[in-house]
Chains A and B, each alone.
Chain A
Amino acid sequence: MTAPRPTGAGPTGAASGRRTVVTGVGVVAPGGVTRDRFWKTITEGRTATRRITFFDPSPYRSQIAAECDFDPDAAGITLAERRRADRYVQFALACSAEALADSGLDLTDADRAVTGVVLGTAVGGTMALEQEYVTVSDAGRHWLVDHRLGGPYLYPALVPSSLAADVACRHGLHGPAQVISTGCTSGIDAIGYAHQLIVDGEAEIVLAGAADSPISPVTVASFDAIKATSPDNDDPAHASRPFDADRHGFVLAEGAAVLVLEEAEHARRRGAHVYCEVAGYANRSNGYHMTGLRPDGVEMGLAIAAALRQGRLDPGQVSYISAHGSGTRQNDRHETAAFKWALGPAAYQVPISSIKSMVGHSLGAIGSIEMAACALAIEYGVVPPTANWSTRDPECDLDYVPNEAREVPVDVALSVGSGFGGFQSAMIFRRVGRPTRGGGPLPTSTAAERAA
């Protein structure tokens, strides 16, 4: 096969007039693998958090997690892929296949040359790395580990780039491949990176999303050490309590989501079903603390404001916010402040929910799972609830859609993420088919904003 000549005039920046739409969705989540089961789980308000079953969690402070009942055979993972790929990569393979099938794309060789893969992960192959470590070190006895005992796929476990590589290999995709690893904002940032590739003419189609399977002793112990995860071991089903006054930390989870992002004209030409378009994406860093958040939420607010500006949207046009809503004391307060900072009085009108109340916090993956939820919310006109909400926190005084899904037209869905390292990301999906204001080049960040 010969490669077609390069297409596109090359990167032209944000003023190219190219737009990104979502034409396929694939999800692996706790409580139900596949897109439809995921949507059913979160719109029914069911929680998928439970006592950890992957290993004996009794030595640890937090003994609960949201695990996926993932069957590699049912998900179509080949034997060769199972040997090579750690669990999180298998999730991505399953989601990618589901998303591609959903998109109806019948990829030609020419398409494959301009189809990229951009996937996020926070902790990559930690699960496989830890298991192999126990073997080669004889359960931590030796610093100079025995290399002869290591498995043949240790290198792909060490380098999380294998996440994008394995998906590209499965589907024969030759466009730009990349892994984005900005901790817990990886899932939004990967879709954002893919969006920029499409807008700049570097790709026509991108499989974009994120995957993480961090439920292993080292990750559990890491979050124990800083008391970030919930110790509510007696009642796992109600342990993830975003925005509730009685919240005690996040519940660790695993999962993945992949979206098919496509240049809008490409999708239109083939008559594709379009879930929504990417109307805006921005990220900022708080420059404050690796794990701590300033209560004012300014940087998340700036990211939201920049994303709104790209989409030429007013705060009042936001119909749903998929919150980061991790359920830690400081996050939910920080985030509530950010919504008020960015949206003003409109923050009090918009329904806001955290699906982490049901599917837990799958670190880098959750940002993409939440973007999948936004696409489905626009598609079906239903906002998923915040489960386990019962007691109002005076510092969290917005409409968090407690416990029951709400039927409401969703034209503009905003999702945010916040992660270790101080990263704050915001992304907006918008229903297509309605006119937008203005035209011409999109604004870039201004000196005034940077000075804010």
Chain B
Amino acid sequence: MSARAVVTGIGVVAPSGIGADAHWRTVLDRTRRTGPITLFDAEGYPTTVAGEVAGFTAGEYADTRQLVQTDRWTHLGFAATRLALADAGLPARAPDPYGYAVTLASSSGGNLFGQRELQRLWGGPSRTVGAYQSIAWFYAASVGQLSIHHQFKGPCGVLVAEAAGGLDSLAHAVRTVRRGTPVVIAGATECPLSPYALTCHLASGLLSGVADPAGAYRPFDAAASGYVPAEGGAVFVVEDRAHALDRGARIYGEITGWAATHDASHTTASTGVAAGPDTGPAEATPATADPAGPADPIWYARALRLALDRAGVTPDEVDVVLPDALGVPRYDRAEAAALRAVFADRPPPVTTQKPLTGRAHQGGSALDVATALLAFRHDTLPASAGPEDPADGCDLDFLREHRRPRSRVALVGARGFDGFNSALVLRGAPPPRQGER
């Protein structure tokens, strides 16, 4: 019998708040945390709204030496990991280094740091970069730093599947636990908010150009206009269940199923686009692309179904679905179609909190996992942040009010740019009795 993997710690550093409690309050109150970009002057860009982590002081989570060597994305990772370990009741320094590992997802590395160094190289007189560029920009920077700082010396990993990888990192944590490493830190943080990263991002044609933060990101809504980018994410302690029970750890829930598939076709935007004159959707769409291809829900549906099968869960046992919620009409319709296909036209309640935070790519899918586990912890399925006016083809059973969970099974779906589909099934632990921690 393979080991079972449970989540015993949650560290959230996201626009919704710093710490799981702050995130949960934002979700319960349905407070939107997106707003005008402050990390740089975004006035001249077609997208001016983002989800930033307000009040984040990196110095509270790492020392100066660590901070100067790393990008803001890694700073967010330092904080989320520290919070997750504390939440799990584990020490900051692994007591059994080879029994601890860290596998995070990162879709674009150290953007702010990288752009500063590119500017120094190309704009300065010396044709040099700083000594830390080689260790700050690349995608493995956060995992390497965390491994060193916390003495996680087991099998570490770094995954990239655009937005889907947050779920993949948790799946890989389970594989790693099953192979004998009892504690694996997993999840993702991101910081795609530098002028150049935003410029790259705009070329996708998927960002919202709506300047009013309240209306910029409206997945499944008739007024959907693309999505709002965000920074941050969530990091988890994934643990061998026996190890967790031995040390009397609080268990949020078990990761019981997972799957990934690929569409084998590229993402093409057909609407909801905020691109510059030279990067419009027509330009961004190769003539060879099959317009029906990427929005075809078959392979996304298969990932959802596979994850349920592996979890040994029938569709009617699912309590709640946390969807990808891209906010681009054809992809929203495709996601709704996939859910109808998997659930035989009777999908369970759907809730998305992404409009509150923006879309933090791999960090965003990890954040959905945090929301699901906290929902079971607090015995409350949170109402969905929209849609107010569901678009044609997006008529799902969106949770309109908070309510009690029943079967305590959540299905989380995520899709990544250019065809990645991932799904995760979580079984929540029973809620704590009164007076319990």
Contact = CB atoms under 8 A, between A and B. Distances in A.
Interface of A: 1-3, 6, 10-15, 59-60, 80, 83-84, 112-113, 116-117, 122-124, 129-130, 132-134, 136-137, 139-141, 143-162, 164-166, 168-169, 171-183, 189, 193, 196, 200, 202, 217-218, 221-226, 228, 282-291, 299, 302, 419-423, 444-447, 449-452
Interface in B128-161: 128-131, 133-135, 137-141, 143-145, 147-148, 151-161
Interface in B47-70: 69
How many of chain B's residues touch chain A, expressed as a range?
A: 35 or more
B23 to A, nearest CB: 25
A165 B261 CA distance: 11
Given A152-B283, A222-B134, A147 B154 contact: no
A179 B309 CA distance: 25
Interface string B154-183: 111111111001001000101100111100
B107 A421 contact: no
A149 B302 contact: no
B418 interface: yes
Given A13-B179, A15-B2, A179-B160, A169 B265 contact: yes
Contact of A158 (B157, B201, B266, B286): B201
A174 B299 contact: yes
A293 to B, nearest CB: 12
Contacts of A177: 161, 260-262, 419-420
Interface in B259-293: 259-266, 276-279, 283-284, 286-288
Contact of B106 (A133, A181, A217): A181
B118 interface: yes
Contact of A450 (B98, B140, B200, B263): B98
A218 B129 contact: yes
Contacts of B130: 225
B144 A423 contact: yes
Q: In the complex, which of the residues B138, B162, B288 has the most CB atoms of chain A within 10 Å of its own CB atom?
A: B138
| B interface, over-half SS | mixed
A316 to B, nearest CB: 25
Contacts of B288: 80
A122 B106 CA distance: 12
Given A140-B118, A181-B158, A150 B134 contact: no
13 contacts: A13-B179, A134-B122, A140-B118, A147-B279, A158-B197, A165-B418, A173-B264, A178-B168, A181-B159, A182-B143, A218-B121, A221-B129, A421-B143
B118 A137 contact: yes
B203 interface: yes
B196 A286 contact: no
Nearest to A124: B139
Contacts of A129: 200
A287 B299 CA distance: 39
A179 B262 contact: no
Interface string B105-138: 0111100000101111111100111110111011
Nearest to B147: A285
Given A177-B420, A178-B168, A452-B98, A420 B144 contact: yes
B45 interface: yes
A284 B98 contact: yes
A182 B306 CA distance: 28
B160 A222 contact: no
Contacts of B152: 285, 287
Interface of B: 2-3, 40-41, 44-46, 69, 96-99, 101, 106-109, 115, 117-124, 127-131, 133-135, 137-141, 143-145, 147-148, 151-162, 165, 168, 172, 174-175, 178-181, 195-204, 259-266, 276-279, 283-284, 286-288, 298-299, 301-302, 305-306, 309-310, 416-420
Contacts of B109: 124
A289 to B, nearest CB: 7
B96 A159 contact: no
Given A113-B302, A158-B108, A181-B140, A228 B262 contact: no
Nearest to B261: A174
A1 B310 CA distance: 23
Given A133-B196, A145-B195, A420-B134, A174 B309 contact: no
B45 A147 contact: yes
Contacts of B107: 159, 161
B422 to A, nearest CB: 9
Contacts of B199: 136, 145-147, 150, 154
A21 B156 CA distance: 24
**Nearest 9 pairs of A and B residues by beta carbon:** A421-B144, A140-B123, A444-B180, A140-B122, A13-B2, A450-B98, A165-B418, A181-B139, A158-B200
A59 B178 CA distance: 50
A80, A143, A168, A176, most chain B CB atoms within 10 A = A176
A449 to B, nearest CB: 7
Contacts of B46: 147
Nearest to B119: A140
Contacts of A444: 179-180
Contacts of B121: 140, 217-218, 221
A137 B123 CA distance: 9
Contacts of B131: 225-226
B388 to A, nearest CB: 29
Contacts of B168: 178
B117 A155 contact: no
B268 to A, nearest CB: 11
B309 A6 contact: yes
B298 A2 contact: yes
A362 B228 CA distance: 36
Given A149-B278, A165-B420, 18 more contacts: A3-B298, A6-B306, A148-B277, A148-B279, A155-B201, A161-B161, A171-B264, A174-B262, A174-B302, A178-B160, A182-B158, A221-B121, A221-B127, A223-B134, A283-B156, A302-B98, A420-B135, A450-B99
Contacts of A226: 131, 134
Contacts of A145: 195-196, 199
B283 A175 contact: no
